[in-house]
Amino acid sequence: MAKSKNNIKKQSYISVPSQIINSLSSSSLQSLLSPKKSSKSLKAKLFKNPIFWFFFLFLSGFLGMLEMGSSLDPLVPLSSNPCSISQLESSISSGDSNSQLNIGAKSGNNSKGVERGVEQSEFWKQPDGLGYRPCLNFSAEYRKSSVEILKDKTKYLMVVVSGGMNQQRNQIVDAVVIARILGAALVVPILQVNIIWGDESEFSDIFDLDHFKRVLANDVRIVSSLPSTHLMSRPVEENRPPLNVSPRWIRARYLKRLRREGVLLLRGLDSRLSRDLPTDFQKLRCKVAFHGLRFAPQILELGNKLTERMQSRGPYLALHLRMEKDVWVRTGCLPGLSHKYDEIINSERKLRPELLTSRSNMTYHDRKLAGLCPLNALEVTRLLKALGAPKNTRIYWAGGNPFGGKEALLPLTREFSHFYNKEDLALPGELEPFSNKASIMAAIDYVVSENSDAFMPSHGGNMGRAIQGHRAYAGHRKYITPNKRHMLPYFLNSSLPEAEFNRIIIDLHHDSLGQPELRTSKAGRDVTKYPIPNCMCRDSRTHSLL
C-alpha cells in the first residue's frame, strides 16, 4: 500500500504580470516611491493623474493580500479540537519561514536528504535499504498445485476474526494461508463485532474486496458466500487452535473431516499459525499483507487527503502513542502524570486483575526498567530531541485518546507545536461517516502513518509491527524503534549533561532506524514484520512476479 509515486504539491502564489511591471516607467516608479523636493505644481499634476490612483490602489491591494496570506496555513484547516487551538495559534505567532511552503515532490525511498526549501536535518535522512526489493517468485511446485486447488469446489473455509483492525489484518493473512494449505476456497472473512468499541464494520467496509479477490486469484479461490450446495452442510468448528500449528498439523486435524462435511469454521486465529512456514507460504503471507489487503476506496481517499495536508509544509513524523487508559491497566504500568492518575490505574487493576497481560510477579519499577512499559509524552519528547528532531517538526499522532487528556500531551505540544491528529486535519464533516467505526478510524491513521517520512511507536503492538513490515517492504523507510530497556536508566540520571545524554541516545539507536534486518536472525518472528529474505531480495532478476 505504500505509494509508488510521490505527488508534487501545488503551491499558492500571488503573481504580478510582467506586462504591468514593464509598463511602469522609471520616472513613474520614482515619483511613487522616491522622495523628491516638494512642488505644488508637481503635486497637483500627480494627484490629478488617473494612472497614479490606479497604481496606488493596485499596490495597496497587493500588499494587503500578501499580509493576509502570510498568516494562513493553506492546507491545515482550523479544528474544534481543543488540543489543536494552541498549536495553530503557536504556528501563526512563531511565523514559520516561507521556505516551508516551497515544497517539491516528496522524496522517494532512501532519500539522501530533505527537499530544497526545507530546513536540512539529519533527522530526516532515510536508512540505506542495501538494494533489497520485493521478490515473490513462487516455486514451480506451488504454481503447479494452484491449478488443482483453484478448480476444487468441494471444500470451503469460513473464519471469524476478532480484535482491533490490525489484529483482524493478521488473522485474515493467516486465514488465506490456511485455506491454501487445505486446498479450500475461502469465504470472505467475518469480522466479529468488537465488544469494546461496538464496531459493526464488515470486510468490505474496511478493505477493497474486489482487489483482494483479484490479487489472490492465482493462489486461493475467494467467494463472497457459501454456494447453495453447501448451505445445509454441518461445518467442522474449531474455536481456538493451539499455538504455532504447522501445515502438517492443520492437514492432519481438518482435511479428512473437511472433505466429508465440505465446510470448516475457524475462530480465534490470532497468532495460532506457526511463524516458521515453508518459503512459499511465507511469500503468500507477504502477498496478502502487502498487496491483497488494500483499504477500501473511501478510506484511502480520506487518508491521502490528510497525508497531503501534513506534507504541505515539508516532511512529517507519524507517532503512534499508546497512552490510553486500558493500555496502562493491561501492561501493569503507570502514566506518571500525578499521584491521582496513578491511583486510578492501580484501582482499576485491582478491580479487574484479569486485564493484566504483563508479568504479574513484577513491580511497576521492574517492568519500566525491563522496557515493558509504553513511553509517556515526556519520554517521547526527550527521545525525539536527543535524536535531532527539529523544533519545527510536524507530528501526526495516531492512537486513541490518552489517559489524562490534553494534560498528558503537554510535554510534546510545548516542545513540538505542530502536533496534529486526524480530527485536527479533517474538514468539517469529513470524519462524520466513520464516527462510530473504530476500525475505519484506525485504518485512516494507518494510511497517514504509512505515508510519513518517519514513524515511531511509543510501545509495541499490532499496528507498529504491521507498519514496520510495510515500511521495510517499501524500501526501508525510516522507522524508529525506541530502545527502552537500555535508554531508560539514562532518562533517570538527572545529573547527566544534555550533550552527553544526546550522544548516548543517538548511539543506542544507531541500528534502530529501519535498516534491513534478516528474519533468520529473528527466530519465530512474523515474516510480515521482517520480510527479508523470504519476500525481499537483491537479485534484480527475481523481482515480484505479481
b (16+ CB within 10 A) / e for 143-171: eeebeebeeeeebbbbbbbbbbbbbbbbb
C-alpha radius of gyration, the chain, whole number: 29
Domain count, the chain: 2
Distances (CA, A) of 210 to 203, 204, 291, 300: 11, 9, 13, 15
**pLDDT at site 231:** 81
Q: Is residue 118 assigned to a domain? A: no
Q: How many CA atoms lie within 13 A of 492 on its CB side?
A: 9
Q: Is residue 31 assigned to a domain? A: no
Does residue 262 sit in the same domain as residue 376?
Answer: no
| Residue carrying the nine cell digits 516608479 | 29
Q: Mean pLDDT of all residues in the chain?
A: 81
**pLDDT at site 137:** 95
Q: Is residue 41 assigned to a domain? A: no
Does residue 378 sit in the same domain as residue 515?
Answer: yes
End residue of a domain, out of 247, 272, 292: 292
Q: Is residue 301 assigned to a domain? A: yes
End residue of a domain, out of 292, 314, 344: 292
430-480 confidence digits (pLDDT tens): 999 998 899 999 999 999 999 999 999 999 889 999 999 999 999 999 999
Please report the DSSP string for 255-312 in residue order: IHHHHHHSEEEEE--TTTB-S---HHHHHHHHHIIIII-PBPHHHHHHHHHHHHHHHT
292-317 confidence digits (pLDDT tens): 999 999 999 999 999 999 999 899 99
- Measured N-to-C along each axis, helices 279-287 and 165-182 cross at an angle, to the nearest 10 degrees, of 140
Does residue 288 sit in the same domain as residue 305?
Answer: no
Question: Phi and psi dihedrals of 380, rounded to 5?
Answer: -60, -40
Residue type for position 46:
L
Pairing of strands 536-537, 133-134: antiparallel
Q: What is the CATH number of the domain that holds 212?
A: 3.40.50.11340
Please, are residues 477 and 449 in contact by the beta-carbon 8 Å criterion?
no
Does residue 280 sit in the same domain as residue 257?
Answer: yes
Q: Is residue 129 assigned to a domain? A: no
pTM of the model: 0.77
**pLDDT at site 75:** 40
- Among candidates 511, 465, 506, which has minimal Cα distance to 487? 506
**pLDDT at site 336:** 86
Distances (CA, A) of 272 to 104, 170, 188, 191, 193: 46, 10, 19, 17, 20
**pLDDT at site 196:** 64
Most confident option among 99-108, 109-118, 248-257, 322-331: 248-257
399-412 confidence digits (pLDDT tens): 888 999 989 999 99
Q: Tell me if the bond preceding 50 is cis, omega within 30° of 0.
A: no
**pLDDT at site 99:** 25
Please compute the mean of the pLDDT values over residues 350-379 and round it to a whole number. Answer: 85
- Among candidates 532, 511, 429, which has minimal Cα distance to 132? 532
**pLDDT at site 518:** 92
Does residue 435 sit in the same domain as residue 415?
Answer: yes
Does residue 210 sit in the same domain as residue 314?
Answer: no
Question: Phi and psi dihedrals of 266, rounded to 5?
Answer: -115, 140
Q: Classify the C-alpha dihedral 334-401-169-451 as positive or negative.
A: negative
526-542 confidence digits (pLDDT tens): 999 999 999 999 965 44
Higher-scoring residue by pLDDT: 234, 412: 412
**pLDDT at site 69:** 43
> How far is 321 from 456, CA to CA, in rounded Å?
9
**pLDDT at site 128:** 95
The pLDDT > 90 percentage for the chain reads 60
| Residue carrying the nine cell digits 503468500 | 284
Q: Is residue 498 assigned to a domain? A: yes
Residue type for position 262:
G
453 Rama class: left (phi>0) / alpha (psi -120 to 50) / beta? alpha
Asked whether the predicted pLDDT for residue 14 surpasses 60, the reply is: no
End residue of a domain, out of 292, 311, 331: 292
> How far is 326 from 81, CA to CA, in rounded Å?
23
Does residue 285 sit in the same domain as residue 346?
Answer: no
> How far is 287 from 211, CA to CA, in rounded Å?
12
Does residue 260 sit in the same domain as residue 370?
Answer: no
**pLDDT at site 195:** 64
**pLDDT at site 5:** 39
Write out the residue range of the structural domain in which residue 498 sits: 297-538
Does residue 368 sit in the same domain as residue 516?
Answer: yes
Could you tell me where the beta strands, DSSP code E, fall in 85-244?
Answer: 133-134, 156-161, 185-187, 190-191, 222-223, 236-238
